[in-house]
Structure 1
């Protein structure tokens, strides 16, 4: 079964599903990342060519191809789609993303008379808006919601002695070219309306449609967060900031469980505080990501169940034991692909350190500690085990957000 099984009508069926689900859901459902090169263009819309071909193959044969199933690469997919009569262009998301990041670096922020540091009102508001984009919430937010949610952020993380005026970023972020305000009549839009006018009109504001579309890409979104933090919020506690802005998912690379400090009631104890009964239980319902276990077994076989970082080969119950670790996490907000190029074979200790952003792989392939507390050592890679450098770079960028800045190459 190959791409030759695909016909025109199968591709059309895949585009219809793409539009129905939306790009992010479509890509996650079928295990693909965003296209970095070729895009199919149809009726003014752009589609990720590789993902589209994989789903079209499913419509043709019943077997849906995943990213790891394509041996010929994106160029082969593009040629197949063109032969079927479709227009396939070299996408330029990188240039559009670069323009977005440039605008973020050059916000028109004010500076107080007694403080040369740039105001944090706009950067903090943008982080809050990015968290909404990551949660796939509505692009535009009503003024009361913006005021009630952003206002406390400005008080907590704004410059000392700065006024927490939510209406300022709500309105003036339009100067960035990434933001729009709707619901203010043109006769009142020549200058910023006051808070009373906002309360009467209840306008909406948020990213422009173009900026919001770019920020749906997890890589662009991470780059945007890093750009804002490094340009305007260098001295802020990132852990606390991300927790308050809804970006706590960026404090780890994977699905680490974190302590909440909450107690739901313990087991019964006697007067000496000795447990007198079984540990309590509670009902819980959760949604989990379905991983490709065949891929996990494959990476372990390629690396002979030996940790690629420390070289440890463990045994458990008289059998080899290792863990398949995703470089870019599968879940929200990272939405990494479940593919061999995104997997490492690690021991449990290194897996926890890697997901917890305590270690990273630098641009030379050396594993380093983010707190400079370990000697660098090369990441082992067995023949036949490709690792996508884009995923490694994504993990490095995560490390810049919450710990000492690593060599990002």
Structure 2
């Protein structure tokens, strides 16, 4: 049994026990020491992440893990807790996050003659690297793979008439403090090596370990994507770019990918290209997220099956009908928690608009259109149905990322 057995409610149960016993007593009872690096942050309180994981495992399986039973750190405890939607920080996390975003805003990008716009070579390369980090690809990328992956992006989304020269960001991103290059011959010195040298020696480049560790947090990762897009890619079609670069999960609030369409069909077509016979079928194997149906029923009951956005009360088959919508999607890359604070009760129409990033909740609690100017309306809130504003903020940030200057409806 491993940390994969832990669920969100198990972690919450462990934090409640830690509050009840007090930090030192909790650690002593379960055989842990104070965290040196990673702390779980929940409702403004900080907990020793490894101890919480060990006790949460006991709530999940009956087997309470001791410190000696498993290793802690970014790749184990912090990773699992973040997958469940929790915030895990080090003492330096907030400061490092701010430094990361500041470095992204102040890249040393060149500007071509006669074109005041900043070059997109470095921003596009960083987005490509962030997409790889989100998919947990190796941190360092060999030059041929970088060249073949980034080169076409520079052609499709770079400035008009700009040359596609992936060797420039491959080397010069080192100046950002977020990037490193390994394997360049020492005789090349400090100057950028010629492309022939890169082709011959296949050096590797990628985000630093510190940057990669920060970008494992879904919230920080979205902040980084938003910073790059808003600073350097204002008039780029974000959705087209995200789909092309491997960030397609950021084009919807759910984050779940649409099933691929199978162009082949066993049904025949008549002369008017209408299908003849029954629709074809195919066998598929899918891995799906298991939602807590009791939570879905609870939010509908609390809101009396009435949409919290438009106040519509639908009926279907002579019964009330509403949908439980996750504010921060459960699927990758968002990894939101399956909890009441992350749920809204919506009608089918508003659910589609919310997941499709067509509407969002502003900091004042008003529901606005992403691209329209219709009169905003307040999100209805029920005191018995708490909503985490951090999830609302994440969804709002996601909507902002998907809107670009030339978007027209």
Q: Does TM, normalized by the shorter one, top 0.5? A: yes
Q: Deviations over 1:146-179 (max 9, x none)?
A: 0001001111111122111111100110100001
Aligned equivalents of 1:398, 1:155: Cα separation in 2: 26
1:190 equivalent in alignment to 2:190: yes
The residue that corresponds to 1:67 in the other structure is: none
The residue that corresponds to 2:311 in the other structure is: 311
Q: Which moved more, 1:225-234 or 1:47-56?
A: 47-56
Q: Deviations over 1:310-363 (max 9, x none)?
A: 111122223222111000001011111111111111111100000000100000
Shift of 1:50: 5.3
Shift of 1:305: 1.3
Aligned equivalents of 2:122, 2:230: Cα separation in 1: 14
The residue that corresponds to 2:156 in the other structure is: 156
The residue that corresponds to 2:403 in the other structure is: 403
The residue that corresponds to 1:105 in the other structure is: 105
**Is contact 1:367–1:378 with CA below 8 Å preserved after alignment?**
yes
Which of 48, 53, 56 is residue 54 of structure 1 equivalent to? 56
1:224 equivalent in alignment to 2:224: yes
Aligned equivalents of 2:257, 2:239: Cα separation in 1: 15
Q: Which runs of 5+ in 1 are unaligned?
A: 16-22, 41-46, 63-87
The residue that corresponds to 1:38 in the other structure is: 46
**Is contact 1:371–1:404 with CA below 8 Å preserved after alignment?**
no
**Is contact 1:308–1:380 with CA below 8 Å preserved after alignment?**
yes
Aligned equivalents of 1:274, 1:180: Cα separation in 2: 56
Q: Deviations over 1:165-222 (max 9, x none)?
A: 1111001101000011111233324111111111111111101000000000000000
SS in 2 for 1:122: helix
Shift of 1:387: 0.7
Aligned equivalents of 2:63, 2:41: Cα separation in 1: 22
The residue that corresponds to 2:237 in the other structure is: 237
Aligned equivalents of 1:351, 1:295: Cα separation in 2: 17
TM-score, scaled to structure 1? 0.80
SS in 1 for 2:268: coil
Report matched runs for 1:2-401 at 5 Å.
3=17, 10=30, 38-40=46-48, 47=49, 53-58=55-60, 91-255=91-255, 258=258, 263-265=263-265, 267-271=267-271, 275-401=275-401
Q: CA RMSD in A?
A: 3.1
**Is contact 2:256–2:331 with CA below 8 Å preserved after alignment?**
no
Aligned equivalents of 2:385, 2:187: Cα separation in 1: 62
Aligned equivalents of 1:133, 1:35: Cα separation in 2: 28
Shift of 1:292: 1.2
Q: Which moved more, 1:370-379 or 1:199-208?
A: 370-379
Shift in alpha-carbon separation, 1:116–1:343, aligned structure 2, 3 A: same
Q: Which runs of 5+ in 2 are unaligned?
A: 1-12, 65-87
Shift of 1:130: 0.3
Aligned equivalents of 1:163, 1:193: Cα separation in 2: 18
Shift in alpha-carbon separation, 1:224–1:272, aligned structure 2, 3 A: closer
Aligned equivalents of 2:350, 2:51: Cα separation in 1: 36
Q: Deviations over 1:267-319 (max 9, x none)?
A: 22445656442211011111101111111111111111111111111222232
Aligned equivalents of 1:157, 1:89: Cα separation in 2: 35
**Is contact 2:302–2:385 with CA below 8 Å preserved after alignment?**
yes
Shift in alpha-carbon separation, 1:186–1:301, aligned structure 2, 3 A: same
**Is contact 2:30–2:51 with CA below 8 Å preserved after alignment?**
no
Aligned equivalents of 1:194, 1:34: Cα separation in 2: 50
Aligned equivalents of 1:285, 1:163: Cα separation in 2: 43
**Is contact 1:139–1:207 with CA below 8 Å preserved after alignment?**
yes
Aligned equivalents of 2:112, 2:272: Cα separation in 1: 60
TM-score, scaled to structure 2? 0.80
**Is contact 1:38–1:91 with CA below 8 Å preserved after alignment?**
no
Aligned equivalents of 1:35, 1:180: Cα separation in 2: 36
The residue that corresponds to 1:79 in the other structure is: none
**Is contact 2:255–2:333 with CA below 8 Å preserved after alignment?**
no
Q: Deviations over 1:255-278 (max 9, x none)?
A: 566586762226224456564422
Shift in alpha-carbon separation, 1:264–1:236, aligned structure 2, 3 A: same
**Is contact 1:147–1:166 with CA below 8 Å preserved after alignment?**
yes
SS in 2 for 1:341: helix
**Is contact 1:327–1:344 with CA below 8 Å preserved after alignment?**
yes
